Amino acid sequence: MTEDVQRVDLTPAAAALLTRLRARHGDLMFHQSGGCCDGSSPMCYPDGDFLTGDADVHLGDLTVRPDGGAGDGDGDEDAGDGVFTVPVWMSRAQFEYWKHTHLTIDVVEGRGAGFSVEAPEGVRFLIRSRLLTDAESEQLLARGER
């Protein structure tokens, strides 16, 4: 059995920051617009503060462990061990350019966008991308995703 392909992932540093931010802000979400006003960085908001709709694509849910690690990807956020999920959205127009890529959310030092909840921390989230392999693309297509 092959591992389930995900479009999005996160680094341990990003997972650790999300754990701290969730303690302060509650449930979180990401939106990647690629627009000029908020830059091309993923924006992190309290879940529901950024309204999504038909103009957005849900890329997946990041599974975060409180130790800063990624979860096992089974979506079992009620395991009682502090694991939680963070949905990741992208504008449909941006997705048309990035649909062939796997995205990893990372964090680096430096000031990011003012509306993203990590801005006061002196760090910013960013996207690292790579092309999907043929096998990953085939698995996504088999699931009905493009």
Question: Which helix (H) or strand (E) is 19 found in, with range?
Answer: helix 12-25
Q: Convert the pLDDT of each residue in 24-36 to its tens digit.
A: 999 999 998 766 6
Q: What is the largest CA-CA distance in the chain?
A: 43
Cβ–Cβ < 8 Å for 125, 41: yes
Question: Which tops the pLDDT comparison, 54 or 4?
Answer: 54
Provide the percentage of residues in the chain whose pLDDT is more than 70. Answer: 82
Is the confidence at residue 117, as pLDDT, over 90? yes
Q: Structure pTM? A: 0.86
Residue 2 neighbours by CB under 8 Å, 6+ apart:
135, 139
